[in-house]
């Protein structure tokens, strides 16, 4: 089974991985993701797959395409932010599903998109800060952000678009990039927002395709961001995309990503992978 875009979550002593089910249909030239999967582990070694907790078509307004997603817990409920293809509005949309259990079943929380209207509305990452305020980031190749209301199923205020600069993300905004100029880096997609010891980290797939993983740091959840370099340089993963996430679990830190390395896999048959890591003493990767 191929598992793309792993989004990991720690809850009640267990690690959960939520991933799109890459069906990798011959001739292996396009994505086919109809549903997401969930796996749990009590030790990062043994994994249990649970029944399919959510399908793209569980969102009645969606046409399909179970693209990248992330789950978070708040007040005993589990909120799953997903990318799907809208049924009538051209492009991708962000939906939110809810469950009382980390393994589901999940159901559409609002019966409509949380945000819709553009091809680049993909790959939501969600984060709850220590003060209880919750944030979403998403986008390819723009980086959008919004604060969530406490209900976790509606947006507070306007959606913002981050100004990308060489200093913040390695290159200017996509529309300002000059052809043939070699920038330090270029944000592409798949953001992952988290906090460690007072510092905020935005990790993301970068460099266009094939993608590597890079990151920016900040002193606040909404920036200003500072480009910090690559975490996972380009290498032979067998997949032209990559999609990362980070968790701390039982005293260790783990970096999730995907490759095309399972037999028969590739760019449309990706598999979740993980490395244990330690941050440097100054908090950098
Ligand atoms: O899985 C479909 C898309 O490929 C994701 O939304 C992106 O992050 C990339 O991994």
Q: Tell me: the pLDDT tens digits for 169-191?
A: 999 999 999 999 999 999 999 99
pLDDT at residue 134, rounded to an integer: 98
18-73 pLDDT, tens per residue?
999 999 999 999 999 999 999 999 999 999 999 999 999 999 999 999 999 999 99
Probe ligand 1: pick from 189, 208, 265, 268, max atoms within 8 Å of CB? 189
Q: How far is the CA of 230 from the centre of ligand 1 (A)?
A: 19
Spatial distance between the Cα atoms of 52 and 256, rounded to a whole number of angstroms:
21
Give me the mean pLDDT over the 82-88 stretch: 96
Strand, helix or coil at 237? coil
From residue 237, alpha-carbon distances to 3, 60, 254, 259 in Å are 14, 35, 18, 5
What's the pLDDT at 213? 98
Segment 221-238 mean pLDDT: 97
Nearest CA to ligand 1 atom 2: 67
Give the residue whose CA is nearest to atom 9 of ligand 1. 241
Task: Kindly list the protein residues whose Cβ atom lies closer than 6 A to any atom of ligand 1.
Answer: 4-5, 20, 31, 67-68, 83, 122-123, 189-190, 241, 243
Predicted confidence (pLDDT) at residue 151 exceeds the cutoff of 90:
yes
pLDDT in tens, 188-201: 999 999 999 999 99
For atom 3 of ligand 1, which residue has the closest CA? 67
Residue 2: its pLDDT value, please?
98
Cut 0.75: pTM above it: yes
d(CA 159, CA 137): 10
Each residue's pLDDT tens digit, 236-285? 999 999 999 999 999 999 999 999 999 999 999 999 999 999 999 999 99
pLDDT band per the 50, 70, 90 thresholds, residue 16: very high
- The mean of the pLDDT values for the chain is 97
How would residue 117 be classed by pLDDT, with cut points 50, 70 and 90?
confident
Instruction: For residue range 93-105, list pLDDT tens digits in order.
Output: 999 999 999 999 9
Which of 31, 243, 270 to mutate for ligand 1's pocket (most ligand atoms within 8 Å of CB)? 243
Residue 218: pLDDT band with limits 50, 70, 90? very high
Dihedral sign (CA 58, 59, 60, 65): negative
Q: How far is the CA of 131 from the centre of ligand 1 (A)?
A: 31
Dist CA 87 CA 60 (whole Å): 9
Q: How far apart are CA 40 and CA 78, in angstroms?
A: 15
Mean pLDDT for 157-165 is 95
Query: So what's the pLDDT on residue 30?
Result: 96
**Concatenated DSSP letters for 175-203?**
GGPPTT---S--EEEEEEEEEETTEEEEE
pLDDT at position 118 over 90? no
């Amino acid at each position: 089974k191929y598992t793309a875009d792993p989004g990991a979550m720690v809850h009640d002593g267990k690690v959960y991985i939520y991933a799109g089910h890459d069906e990798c249909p011959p001739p292996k030239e396009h994505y086919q993701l109809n549903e997401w999967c969930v796996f749990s582990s009590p030790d990062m070694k043994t994994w249990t797959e649970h029944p399919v907790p959510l399908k793209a078509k569980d969102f009645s307004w969606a046409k399909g395409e179970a693209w990248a997603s992330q789950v978070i817990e708040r007040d005993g409920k589990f909120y799953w932010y997903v990318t799907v293809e809208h049924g009538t509005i051209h492009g991708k949309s962000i939906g939110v599903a809810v469950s009382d259990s980390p393994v589901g079943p999940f159901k559409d929380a609002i019966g409509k998109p949380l945000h819709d209207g553009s091809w680049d509305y993909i790959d939501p990452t969600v984060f709850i800060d220590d003060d209880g305020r919750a944030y979403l980031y998403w986008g390819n190749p723009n980086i959008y952000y919004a604060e969530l209301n406490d209900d976790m199923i509606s947006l507070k205020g306007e959606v913002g678009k981050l100004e990308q600069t060489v200093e913040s993300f390695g290159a200017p905004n996509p529309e300002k990039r000059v052809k043939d100029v070699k920038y330090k880096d270029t944000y592409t997609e798949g953001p992952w927002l988290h906090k460690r010891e007072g510092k905020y980290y935005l990790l993301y797939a970068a460099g266009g395709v094939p993608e590597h993983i890079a990151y920016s740091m900040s002193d606040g959840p909404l920036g200003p961001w500072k480009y910090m370099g690559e975490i996972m340089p380009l290498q032979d993963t067998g997949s032209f995309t990559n999609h990362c996430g980070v968790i701390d679990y039982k005293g260790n830190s783990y970096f999730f990503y995907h490759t095309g390395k399972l037999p028969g896999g590739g760019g449309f048959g990706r598999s979740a992978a993980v490395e244990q890591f330690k941050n440097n003493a100054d908090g950098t990767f």
